[in-house]
Amino acid sequence: MSKGLTKKNLLIFRDFIQIRTGLFFPESRFDAFENVLEAHFKNAAHENFATYISFLESEAGEGNFKKLISCLTTNETYFFRGKTHFDLLEKKILPKIIGREACARKCISIWSAGCSTGEEPYSIAILLKQLIPQIETWQIEIVATDIDEAALNQAKLGAYSEWSFRGVDSDMVMTAFRKKDDLYHINPAYKSLVRFQRNNLISDVPPAVTFGGGPFDIIFCRNVMIYFDQETIKALASKFHDALKEGGYLIVGDAEHSAQNYVLFKSRTFPAAVIYQKKCINGSGFDVDMPLYPSTSFLKKTQGEAHSLKIKNVVHKTTAQEHERLFQFIHNNKKKKKLRVSEKNIPIRQIKKDTVSLEETRLFNEAMHYYFEKRYEMAIDWFLRIVHMNQDHSCAAWMLSHIASNRGDFEEAIAWSERCIKIDALFKEPYYTLATIYMAKGMLDVAMFQIKKAIYIDPRFILGHFVMGSLYRSMNVSSEAEKCFKRMEGFISKKASDEVIFETEFLALGILQKWIQDKAEGV
């Protein structure tokens, strides 16, 4: 510790920085913090620390304060950094927004918050130009903000060294940039899509969109909130929520995920990344009761998609009614008792002790507690923690698939189920999930293909025979349906009627037995 800076001074200055910018430096980072502060303190040539603070607070010291902040933050970035986010943007998010806007106002607005030297917003501009034909007929605005004016000035120049393109396709570089001396200058067609401005995320209001004033379709804020404490992150998440359109997306850094910090959003979980989506006012709430079987409300989401050849590309009304009756029956009759999760009673299947650490088991138990309490966003958060610890944890991956499927987020559910199968091809549950998804879509032949795999793995899979029988009934192949239900009855007769066979929904054997009896009696 230098003579001029005591620990008390560092704490005072840490609090001053946090109030002004939201940046928080824990004591574990005080060594680097002190070095930067001491150098600026000496250059400012103030007699003592108190006068230095007063100077930084004054209008005259504003320039020095900005230089200091620039030295305290990391501007390490490059084009298309975080490939998984840009893959989701290219394949999932932007096509949906572009499809919606193509028939409407043709307007897209994106906020790159904490844009540093500009690689992120320019990457977004390049992607938009690739995806939108005749983009000049659209109103596109990417608002890029940062607290660091030096970084913003560099971003406005749009000139970069080869180091900013590591891992980037050379054809893209040649298309979007022109080389002059040792620097690559972004072409005007891309540069015109981005507007830079200084913005303090904590103290300033969100930037406005020039065509209509906002709100935004997408907000990027990656690797910025690592500098903030939890209270500041929650406040900033609320500000982002207000700045987004209904259904808009918030994309944060891989190390910044937390259900507790983004409670206003719905987590969208893909195997490669997690994003957050603002709830639509006319949409269903997040904490919906989790159906075992997709209901007709989920069928509406997929009416425009390709359907099974065996039912001549039509989802029959009777098929939808069958799904709805089945869902309502199970929902009304499943066991209400909340089983306590323990290491001896982990749902789905026993986790092998020799392949999973005690910490993973503890986290899995905790995640299941949140799930049973219907705190699904928290459950997702904890299952993701497990997957990050162990990429081959098939049970956690399947629970993410199961939750996504039951919420109607079929693309996510399919992606997680396919990941499960890659991890363990003999895990029957993901095949079951895929079968129910394709059944909800009306793709009955594909659903049958998946459920047959599950039954091949476990010929005594009672729920699998139940789904297969329901599929045959929907296909009007009653003789095969009855065979499935008779096999089920044979398995059920050897077990207690209150035995739970699908722990995540507390589905007991007696419920399926009653369903079969009611169907046989024409109820």
- The whole-number pLDDT of residue 315 equals 40
How do the domains of the chain map onto residue ranges? Answer: 7-72, 83-278, 296-520
The full DSSP string for 369-387 is HHHHTT-HHHHHHHHHHHH
C-alpha–C-alpha distance, residues 416 and 406, integer Å: 13
Is the CB of residue 79 less than 8 Å from the CB of residue 123?
yes
Residue 290 pLDDT greater than 50, yes or no: no
Q: How confident is the model at residue 15 (pLDDT cuts 50, 70, 90)?
A: confident
Q: How confident is the model at residue 495 (pLDDT cuts 50, 70, 90)?
A: low
Please say if the pLDDT value at position 245 is more than 60: yes
Please check whether the domain covering 83-278 is classified as CATH 3.40.50.150.
yes
Q: Is the peptide bond before 215 cis (omega within 30 degrees of 0)?
A: yes
pTM beyond 0.75: the answer is: no
Please tell me what DSSP assigns to residue 267.
Answer: E
Q: What is the pLDDT of residue 331?
A: 55
Which residues have CB under 8 Å from 450's CB, separation 6+?
431, 432, 434, 435, 438
| pLDDT on residue 26 | 66
Q: Are the C-beta atoms of 278 and 315 separated by less than 8 Å?
A: no
Contact 7, 15 (CB under 8 A): no
> In which band, very low, low, confident or very high, does the pLDDT at 44 lie, cut at 50, 70 and 90?
low
Domain boundaries 296-520, CATH class: mainly alpha
Poorest-confidence range of 47-56, 94-103, 178-187, 426-435? 47-56
Of the ranges 239-243, 281-285, 317-321, 327-331, which is most confident?
239-243
Residues 6+ apart with CB under 8 A from 336: 506
Output the CA torsion sign for 459, 463, 468, 472.
Answer: positive
